[in-house]
Each structure stands twice: as C-alpha cells, then as structure tokens.
C-alpha cells in the first residue's frame, strides 16, 4: 500500500478528459458515471481520486458509486463516493472538497454524519492536496487516523 502523503493527485491530471459542453461550460468525463460532468474544483478532486482508484489500485469501476442520495436526520444529502468490495459491501466512504477548502472539523463531522446512516468501515477526506483516511468509531465518537488506504487491491 502507498502512504497517503505519497499520493500525488496532480500527477494524474493528464488522465482527465476535459472538454466544453454546448453552452461553453468546462466539463470533465467521469468514467464511473460514464458521462461529462461540470468541472468544478471539487469535481476535479473527485475525478483525480477516481483515476487513482482505477489506474493505481486497479479497482473495477462497477465497485465505485458516485454522488448518490442518502437521508441524514430527515434531510436529503449526497455522498461523494463509495467503494464496495467484491461482495458489494461498502468499504470506503469519501468526501471531497475543492483545493481552496480547509479540511476542518466541519468536514469530518459531515462524513461522520453520512456514515451514521451508511456504516462504512473506512472514510477518506481530501481537498486534492491534503488527504486523511480513517476509521470512524461511533462508540467512542472519534476517528482512528491511518497512514494508508487499506482497501484490497483486486487482481487485474
């Protein structure tokens, strides 16, 4: 496994497929959703992670879910990304922010709230330059930070 501080998302930018839609808005192709999506700063971070998971970890795109609805305390929300294992159990919940957004307690609280509904064992928070992977311990109401992303590496 690769240490989180060794993950250089910027080196993956050449894999992004940028274009403009009919109205001239910048879009990027999402290989998981198989469509062009608006190229916001947060979306670019998400797409770089998707490339990392697909290219570096050889994950099957069918085991990745992007921007799906969930309900948290009666309010509709959307998680950024979930990775499933081969038996379709969720193993990693990810929250991405734009590079200009500081990864503070509010971001960690947000993913913890999502996870109260989803019960995923691992979480990842990233703004493209800072990355944190951790286990959420609901009983202790805390996080166990990890140096790596301990998800399986499937055989090609």
pLDDT at 50 exceeding the cut of 90: yes
CATH number of 4-146: 3.90.1570
pLDDT number for residue 83: 96
Spell out the domain ranges in the chain: 4-146
pLDDT number for residue 156: 42
pLDDT number for residue 27: 97
pLDDT number for residue 10: 86
In 54-72, which positions are buried (b, 16+ CB within 10 angstroms) versus exposed (e)?
Answer: beeeebeeebbbbeeeeee
Average pLDDT over residues 82-104: 94
Residue 50: Cβ-neighbour burial (10 angstroms; 0-12, 13-18, 19+): buried
* C-alpha to C-alpha distance for 121 and 69, rounded to whole angstroms: 19
pLDDT at 153 exceeding the cut of 60: no
């Amino acid at each position: 496994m690769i240490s989180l501080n060794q993950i250089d998302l910027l080196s993956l930018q050449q894999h992004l497929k940028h274009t403009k839609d009919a109205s001239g808005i910048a879009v990027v192709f999402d290989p998981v959703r198989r469509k062009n999506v608006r190229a916001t700063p947060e979306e670019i971070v998400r797409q770089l992670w998707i490339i990392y998971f697909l290219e570096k970890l050889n994950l099957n795109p069918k085991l990745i879910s992007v921007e799906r609805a969930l309900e948290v305390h009666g309010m509709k929300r959307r998680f950024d990304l979930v990775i499933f294992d081969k038996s379709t159990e969720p193993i990693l919940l990810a929250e991405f922010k734009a590079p200009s957004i500081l990864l503070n307690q509010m971001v960690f609280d947000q993913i913890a709230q999502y996870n109260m509904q989803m019960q995923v064992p691992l979480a990842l928070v990233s703004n493209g330059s800072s990355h944190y992977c951790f286990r959420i311990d609901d009983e202790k109401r805390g996080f166990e930070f990890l140096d790596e992303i301990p998800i399986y590496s499937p055989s090609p």
